[in-house]
Structure 1
Amino acid sequence: MQRELSSYQVVDEAAIRRAALVAATLTSFLTPFMDSGTNVALPEISLQFGMDAVVLSWVRMAYLLAAAVFLVPFGKLADIYGRKRVYALGTGTFTLAALVTGLSTSTPILLGARVLQGLGSAMIFGTGMAILTSAFPPGERGRVLGINVAAVYLGASLGPSIGGVLTEQFGWRSIFAVPVVLGVIALAFIWRRLTGEWAEARGESFDLPGSLIYAVSLVALMLGISRLPSPAAVGLVAAGVMGLGFFAAWEMRATVPVLDIRLLTSNRPFAFSNLAALINYSATAATAFLSSLYLRYIKGLDAQTAGLVLIAQPVIQAVFSPLAGKLSDRIEPRIVASAGMGLTALGLVLLVVISPATPLWAIILRLALLGFGFALFSSPNMNGIMGAVEKRLYGVASAMLATMRLMGQM
């Protein structure tokens, strides 16, 4: 199959698909690897710059806030001006920010670089999945989204182990060398191999006022949630909710909204799949942290052994995500995702009832069950969301799902 581009250059459709898959897999590995790897180095970063606990928390918070706030606006910009263009810009921004972070000489420079990394991550996650959905036919969409999800889980699982080794052997700055190298490779691949552009909403205007309202409201909401239950945090949550309500009213009147509210009010598959993602990620966000505390302080394991136990979940997720995605190409995605959510809930219930006497093999089986449930949920849920919208909204849909994931992880 062939496809003619605007420059009248005829290119091989299969080559475009391969390039899209390789590029998306690289960047999908890169961003969670950086996030989870940085967490390992936080004690050393704190010591280097003399940070207290509050300032140190902003090393991660600055990244997450910037990523969440700009995901939907960048997704819309990608639909208008071209997904490859925004995707390449995001990869370059993320890579440059990683370099600046690794070379930081003060706390303000470090935090500024983390904000820049969040911007780059927003551009990547607001477009990567949209490019895959644009490049591949519906019958193959679940499989490639499953591969993409597997790369995310692989990056998240390898980040702490590789980051720990690098920090121990070469210092915390060495962690940021990995995304610089991989980012340069990904950027070169995007420009040289990813031929073509996707901009089905080209010619539409960009709703800047709506984007600003959305950004301010989401910052207030996420900051408030992260600081609960203090009175100030409650006020921020209330302000954020009211701001998002005003944003919804604004978007309903906008000629070309940054986020078409009708997707949430009239498109039930899109709305409920995003809600399911928010619930699923919220319910499981603290699992790794609480499990690590249990293994270290209740079971008395050393850090290396505890890490080997915890890796059972992301490894299972990485192995089964492509298979679950492929299954959702044959069976209704919501059915597969619902089964995955049920298994995830079962895994959480089984983890709730563990005690100091619970054998290690039983803990591993519970984590594996949780990972299997997550694998069955994630890529089929993505497949359902992307299949529920028209092509000109792929960027916004991709960004909306990523926003749900980040909000759940807060």
Structure 2
Amino acid sequence: MRSGRRRRTDQSTAPSYSRRLILILVTAATFLNPFTGSAINLALPAIGSEFTVDAATLAWVSSSYLLASVIFLLPAGRLGDSRGRVWVFLLGTVIYTAGSLLTLLTASIEMLLVFRFLQGIGGAMIFANSVALITHLYPPGERGYAIGINVTAVYAGLSLGPFLGGLLTQFFGWRSIFLVTAVLAIPVLLYAGKFPAFLNERHHDRFDVPGLLLSSVFLFCFFVGLTLATTTAGLLLLAVSLVLGIAFYLVEKRQPSPLLPVTIIEENRVFAFSNAAALINYSATFAVAFLLSLYLQYIRGFEPAAAGTLLLIQPIVQVFVAPISGRLSDRILPGYVASAGLAVSAVGLFGFSLLTAETPLEAIAALLLIVGIGLGLFSSPNTNAIMSSVEPRSYGSASAMVAAMRSLGMMVSMGTVMVIFAVIMGATTVSPAIFPEFLVSVQVSFTVFFLLTVLGIFFSLKRNRTAATEA
């Protein structure tokens, strides 16, 4: 371990590259996904109107990206460890940009979903390696702050996405969102040669093809089954996904270089409980912007730009809180900060479960503020706890797990909403005739998310006790 610390110190002081520039480039690429995802939420009514699709189908605009992302995150992280993290990271940026440009040619909802799936593959390659690159670049004591900057980029994307997405959709059409995304990726590609060689070191482990095939089919069956959970076919797919999930875990236990870091999960309780807390956190919070954007436009009659402006509150708060909580997690046990964040988020989600057609806008703004503080307190410290609990050789797999829990949580969040919509509203286009049912769907969704967050607090506190015992 001493030699590892000594090597990292030498790397950080070498004159041939700039840590700050590398952090900026990684952070800029990290910004792309949350910006596009949050911006497109404001464009959903326009997309639904152009292609004449129901609310459940509209949810697939986000879910197709998430499905691709969660399928390819673990393989992308393993490829980063074995073939070079910088190479996989930059290739992901190229694929993401290509998907954005192809979206400009969309002529049907089916084409849009295919191009969003392609973006998801590129996004997986970016996110699976971004935190690993930062962790390799920054030593303990500085790592929490650097991760906090990276997390801030996510929240900055979430902040600017609704505002710019609303403006772009209203004045230039929803396709302009993807053009802006492609333009934003250009600087990252232009400075690709600035990454130092040590960040691209390779171990040449054998790639886990059986694990890739099993995990892909398992995740596909799970998500599609979740969206069709009210039908016999959906229940059958969920049963199949359970069998495949067990088979995947057993196969990974026997693989010398598994996609899923089974040994770390079984032996490192801080790693396991921190990832469980992350999964639950994103499952409970990702669909907040989706639900509120539809609520504000359908129930309150907001224009996309106005709805996006109000939704700015939550991610702007996160932008300011995330670096502070990251710095704080360098000084005290990260799990304590993350647990406090979950508790604060739970308060805001409970408030949203009480939404009505007459809820004052001031109350909605206050709840967005509360959820923003909670998420800002949680993400950076929780990621710092995960990455600091593993050895450098496993940074890629650990980074991929962080991103996988985020994407899987997002997928579960959207899947939960789709199930609730299907049960309460059916496969019907949202119209004034079913606004009461839509509002009930929103209330039920937020109630489920509140209960999930309470469960997440349990896992986070369990992680804290484990870390304290090991210390």
* TM-score when normalising by structure 2: 0.79
Amino acid at match of 1:323: I
- 2:396 aligns with 395
- 1:231 aligns with 232
User: Would you say the 8 A contact 1:29–1:155 is kept in 2?
Assistant: yes
Structure 1 Cα separation of the partners of residues 229 and 404 of structure 2: 20
Among 168, 171, 194, the residue aligned to 1:169: 171
What is the SS of the residue equivalent to 1:256?
coil
- 1:314 aligns with 315
1:385 aligns with 2:386: yes
State the Cα deviation string for residues 76-121 of structure 1 (Å, max 9, x = none).
0001111000001000111111111113345554333222211100
Cα distance change of structure 1 residues 303 and 115 upon mapping to structure 2, 3 Å threshold: closer
Amino acid at match of 1:118: G
State the Cα deviation string for residues 120-171 of structure 1 (Å, max 9, x = none).
0000000111101110111111111111111111112322221222222222
Cα distance change of structure 1 residues 25 and 364 upon mapping to structure 2, 3 Å threshold: same
State the Cα deviation string for residues 158-185 of structure 1 (Å, max 9, x = none).
2222122222222222221111111111
For residue 385 of structure 1, report the CA deviation from its aligned partner: 0.6
Structure 2 Cα separation of the partners of residues 215 and 261 of structure 1: 17
- 1:195 aligns with 196
For residue 65 of structure 1, report the CA deviation from its aligned partner: 0.9
What is the SS of the residue equivalent to 1:127?
helix
1:323 aligns with 2:327: no
For residue 297 of structure 1, report the CA deviation from its aligned partner: 6.2
For residue 403 of structure 1, report the CA deviation from its aligned partner: 1.6
State the Cα deviation string for residues 54-82 of structure 1 (Å, max 9, x = none).
65544333221111100000100001111
- 2:67 aligns with 65
Structure 2 Cα separation of the partners of residues 246 and 382 of structure 1: 28
Equivalences for residues 260-409 of structure 1 within 5 A: 260-292=261-293, 295=296, 304-353=305-354, 359-409=360-410
Amino acid at match of 1:314: P
- 1:113 aligns with 115
For residue 350 of structure 1, report the CA deviation from its aligned partner: 3.3
For residue 27 of structure 1, report the CA deviation from its aligned partner: 1.1
Structure 2 Cα separation of the partners of residues 272 and 3 of structure 1: 30
Structure 2 Cα separation of the partners of residues 260 and 150 of structure 1: 27
Among 90, 93, 102, the residue aligned to 1:91: 93
Bigger CA drift: 374-383 or 399-408?
Answer: 399-408
State the Cα deviation string for residues 283-311 of structure 1 (Å, max 9, x = none).
22333344445555666666554443332
Gaps of 5+ in 1: none
What is the SS of the residue equivalent to 2:197?
coil
Structure 1 Cα separation of the partners of residues 300 and 46 of structure 2: 26
For residue 329 of structure 1, report the CA deviation from its aligned partner: 0.5
- 1:79 aligns with 81
Cα distance change of structure 1 residues 144 and 186 upon mapping to structure 2, 3 Å threshold: same
Amino acid at match of 1:203: H
Cα distance change of structure 1 residues 369 and 97 upon mapping to structure 2, 3 Å threshold: same
Gaps of 5+ in 2: 412-471
- 2:219 aligns with 218
What is the SS of the residue equivalent to 2:141?
helix
Bigger CA drift: 50-59 or 85-94?
Answer: 50-59
Bigger CA drift: 310-319 or 76-85?
Answer: 310-319
- 1:250 aligns with 251
Cα distance change of structure 1 residues 46 and 365 upon mapping to structure 2, 3 Å threshold: closer
Structure 2 Cα separation of the partners of residues 24 and 109 of structure 1: 29
Among 146, 149, 154, the residue aligned to 2:151: 149
User: Would you say the 8 A contact 1:150–1:322 is kept in 2?
Assistant: yes
User: Would you say the 8 A contact 1:16–1:135 is kept in 2?
Assistant: no
State the Cα deviation string for residues 224-243 of structure 1 (Å, max 9, x = none).
22332322222212211211
Structure 1 Cα separation of the partners of residues 109 and 306 of structure 2: 33
User: Would you say the 8 A contact 1:200–1:392 is kept in 2?
Assistant: no
Q: Paired residues, what number?
A: 404
User: Would you say the 8 A contact 1:85–1:197 is kept in 2?
Assistant: no
State the percentage of identical aligned residues. Answer: 46
User: Would you say the 8 A contact 1:83–1:197 is kept in 2?
Assistant: no
Structure 2 Cα separation of the partners of residues 55 and 293 of structure 1: 14
Structure 2 Cα separation of the partners of residues 53 and 348 of structure 1: 22
1:128 aligns with 2:120: no
Cα distance change of structure 1 residues 163 and 366 upon mapping to structure 2, 3 Å threshold: closer
Bigger CA drift: 109-118 or 51-60?
Answer: 51-60
Structure 1 Cα separation of the partners of residues 319 and 132 of structure 2: 21
User: Would you say the 8 A contact 2:103–2:178 is kept in 1?
Assistant: yes
